[in-house]
Structure 1
Amino acid sequence: MRKKSGKRAARRFDAEITEVERFLTDVTSATLDKRSLSWAHEVALLKLTVALERVMLECLVAAINNSTGPLSARTQVKFPKHITNEVAEYLVVGSSYFDFRGSRDGLIKKIREFVDESHWLVTAVKTTDKPTLDKLFAIRNWAAHESKTAKRRAIALVGPGAGSPGSWLKKGGRTAAFIRELRDLANEIESAAPF
């Protein structure tokens, strides 16, 4: 069994961000109509958030596998010193998916269910810009669900005038701003993770 590594996860996350950048370069240099370009930005955002969720889950699995002490203290259940990656992942997601309620604070709260406040992953996520991540998650939810509720939440964060998630993203370098924030997070994780 190969142990998970925060550093490896961060490097993989950065590589996925680079792939999304390449995709956007390709589609923006192509001759696309407005709707197709908007959809391309939505796809890019969805891929970025999938990569973010994956790196967070991998880092949590690595953290739990490295030390079950904080989890044991929090749950009053004595876990073995090391557990398999699969068991650690199950502790985080159960039989569902990685759910952190679509906000930076929700992500930090989810991480703190498994590690101490001073843990490197909590510290790394706290370096991110809260409004930027909250907008990222709100726009992602609007793009993924296209519901009135998701649209209302996104508009509350980004302001009126967004006709669709993609039309909002493609203006003013907004997708690029999300990419910069996520790349900064990847670098912060790689720097902070001890393994």
Structure 2
Amino acid sequence: MGRKKSGKYAANKFKTTTRGIRDFLDEVNAAGLSETALTWSYETALIRTTVAFEKLMLECLIVALNKDTGPFSDDTGVRFPKHLDQKVCEYLVTGGGYFDFRGRDGLLKDMKKFTGPQHYLQVAVRDEKRRYALELLLTLRNYAAHQSPQSKEKVRESIFCFKEGVKSVNGSAQLKAKFAKAKAPMSAGVWLKRQGRMTYILDRLDALADEIHQGAPY
């Protein structure tokens, strides 16, 4: 029988991974690498961080659904038994495919189906203190992975909002004019390797994991 999934265990495992990523970045920063090698190293760290975050979210959603199917029954209009096997929970969360979501807002929308609005996981992820870290993590990851015009535009927007301290570029005429002049970085790694930006993201993700650990029943 496999290990029973646990929100506390998932949070601890995530922080073990982020500690390893921090150690990796300390090592590459001290190694005298070329700028290209350093950029690629930061993109590797970014992708590994995103994978760990996705695993944390999936594990916690499985735990939430396994503990209480009520919110999912309300969302779907289908009455599920109060408790479901973990494999069944995973299938319902992923739809039998990959665990995927469209940015921070997409994650919160998908999460609400399984947790309801006041669940500890929903509250932790929704916290405004982590808005920019999550949006930067996810948009930069897509930029690193795809390098498409669409992913570049999303990164341009998320970096601009982060720098300006706004939720959206659709504000005043002055804000829109300022955004029109904003540029995206050449790559995700180029942006992340400067000014402690990757540390900024990791610090806030670790704080998220701490809140999950505190809120999880087991």
| TM-score, structure 2 normalization | 0.85
Distance 1:161 1:114, change over 3 A: closer
Q: Which range moved further: 175-184 or 132-141?
A: 132-141
**Distance across 2 between alignment mates of 1:98 and 1:112:** 15
Match of 2:19 in 1: 18
Match of 1:91 in 2: 92
**Distance across 2 between alignment mates of 1:155 and 1:142:** 10
Query: Does the CA-based 8 Å contact 2:7-2:59 persist in structure 1?
Result: yes
Match of 1:108 in 2: 108
**Distance across 2 between alignment mates of 1:115 and 1:193:** 12
Residue 97 of structure 2 aligns with an amino acid whose one-letter code is S
Q: Which runs of 5+ in 2 are unaligned?
A: 161-182
Runs of 4+ residues over 4 Å off in structure 1: none
Q: Map of 1:64-79 to 2, 5 A cutoff?
A: 64-79=65-80
Aligned residues: 194
Match of 1:173 in 2: 196
Report how far residue 86 of structure 1 moved. 1.2
Q: Which range moved further: 124-133 or 175-184?
A: 124-133
Match of 2:60 in 1: 59
**Distance across 2 between alignment mates of 1:13 and 1:157:** 24
Report how far residue 131 of structure 1 moved. 2.2
Q: Which range moved further: 73-82 or 24-33?
A: 73-82
Match of 1:117 in 2: 117
Report how far residue 37 of structure 1 moved. 0.2
Structure with larger Rg: 2
Match of 2:45 in 1: 44
Report how far residue 3 of structure 1 moved. 2.4
Report how far residue 136 of structure 1 moved. 1.5
Q: Which range moved further: 32-41 or 104-113?
A: 104-113
Query: Does the CA-based 8 Å contact 2:156-2:185 persist in structure 1?
Result: yes
**Distance across 2 between alignment mates of 1:19 and 1:90:** 30
Residue 121 of structure 1 aligns with an amino acid whose one-letter code is L
Report how far residue 152 of structure 1 moved. 1.6
**Distance across 1 between alignment mates of 2:65 and 2:216:** 13
Q: Which runs of 5+ in 1 are unaligned?
A: none
**Distance across 2 between alignment mates of 1:129 and 1:18:** 19
Match of 1:145 in 2: 146
| TM-score, structure 1 normalization | 0.95
**Matched residue SS, 1:132:** helix
Report how far residue 161 of structure 1 moved. 5.5
Query: Does the CA-based 8 Å contact 2:153-2:184 persist in structure 1?
Result: no
Residue 110 of structure 1 aligns with an amino acid whose one-letter code is D
Q: Which range moved further: 148-157 or 5-14?
A: 148-157
Residue 111 of structure 1 aligns with an amino acid whose one-letter code is M
Cα-Cα RMSD: 1.3
